[in-house]
Amino acid sequence: MHLLWLRVAAMLYAAASVAIFPAVLYRVDRWRRYCVHLGGMAFFFHFVSSVEMLVQAHHWMPVGAREAESLLGLVVCGLFFLAWWLYDAISLGIFALPITFFLVFVPALGQERYTFPSQGVRTSWLVAHIAALLAAYAALGFSLLASILYLLQERRLKAKVTPERDSWWVPLDWLPPLDTLERIAHAMLLFGFPCMTVGLIIGAVLVQETPLGAAYFLDPKVLASFLMWVVYVLLLFIRRTAGLRGRKAAYLSGAVLVVMLAVWASNLFSHVHRYGAP
């Protein structure tokens, strides 16, 4: 029965993770209430599931990787609600709630190794996993390109270029306005974030059919991908809450390129994501 409560908690955590972004990034009170209520119910069902799981197993300490992941998620969510209750720090939920969902999602699939109904279903999930992550990386690339063009256009406008003046800035008069480039960069980030999140979730499902188990999450490619997701959240959070625009936002987007290159480079050391691997 504890698995049923854990699955209910996972679905509620997913809903709370969606609600936290408009609640924090756009300061919408309605979404803030949704997030707190959904997260609170998820924590309650998660607590019930954990207690029932430990009682049925006749021990009070986790003995397996999935039990440890579930209890770690419970602690993370509990600390978040404690911080929210004491300091009204709802913004911490933009990190805590999705992390809790990722920790709970795999144990909620079941204690035994998950198997797909057919090879065709597994292939469909694999295609969706690859497509979602490629879309996320492409969106990051377009966002970075728009940020670089923003810097070029800003320098060009400050140089006060006119068609009569002989300057190397003149051939760049095709560049869009600064506001357009800023909106493109931000829109690409907003598009890429759910793609990356979905890609990581599907990847967590796919690995359940492999003998790697929890060792999968120690793979360099997997660790780098989750680091990329954290940087993605941090980038969205800083851009929105600190009101970063223009040059500072462009420099911040440039820093993401370093992490993205690290993710691609990690394929050289990965045992499960190396290109050309069987």
Tokens of 208: 């359940």
pLDDT (average), residues 72-76: 93
Q: Helix and strand tally (H, E) in the chain?
A: 8, 0
Residue 243 burial (CB < 10 Å; 0-12/13-18/19+)?
Answer: exposed
Distance set, CA 140 to CA 177, 241, 265, 275 (Å): 20, 20, 16, 21
**Gyration radius of the chain's alpha carbons:** 22
3-state SS, residue 90? helix
3-state secondary structure of 251: helix
Residue 131 pLDDT: 93
Q: What is the model's pLDDT at position 16?
A: 95
pLDDT per residue over 112-130, tens digit each? 666 777 788 888 988 998 8
Residue 276 pLDDT class (50, 70, 90 cuts): very low
* pLDDT tens-place string over residues 141-199: 888 888 888 888 887 777 665 555 545 555 566 778 888 888 888 888 889 889 988 98
CA angle 88, 93, 98 (to 5 degrees): 165
Confidence of residue 277 (pLDDT cuts 50, 70, 90): very low
Q: How far is CA 9 from CA 57, 74, 102, 145, in A?
A: 20, 10, 12, 40
pTM (2 decimals)?
A: 0.77
Q: How far apart are CA 126 and CA 29, in angstroms?
A: 38
* CA-CA-CA-CA dihedral for 173, 176, 179, 184, to nearest 10: -150
Q: What is the mean pLDDT of the chain?
A: 80
For residue 85, the model assigns a pLDDT of: 93
**Is the pLDDT higher at 105 or at 210?**
105
Residues 22, 28 contacting (CB under 8 angstroms): yes
Q: Taking 50 as the threshold, does the pLDDT of residue 243 lie above it?
A: yes
DSSP letters, 189-227, are HHHHHHHHHHHHHHHHHHGGGSTTGGGGGGSHHHHHHHH
Of 188 and 222, more confident: 188
Q: What is the band of 81 on the pLDDT scale with cuts at 50, 70, 90? A: very high
Confidence at residue 278, expressed as pLDDT on a 0 to 100 scale: 41
Calculate what percentage of the chain has a pLDDT beyond 90.
24
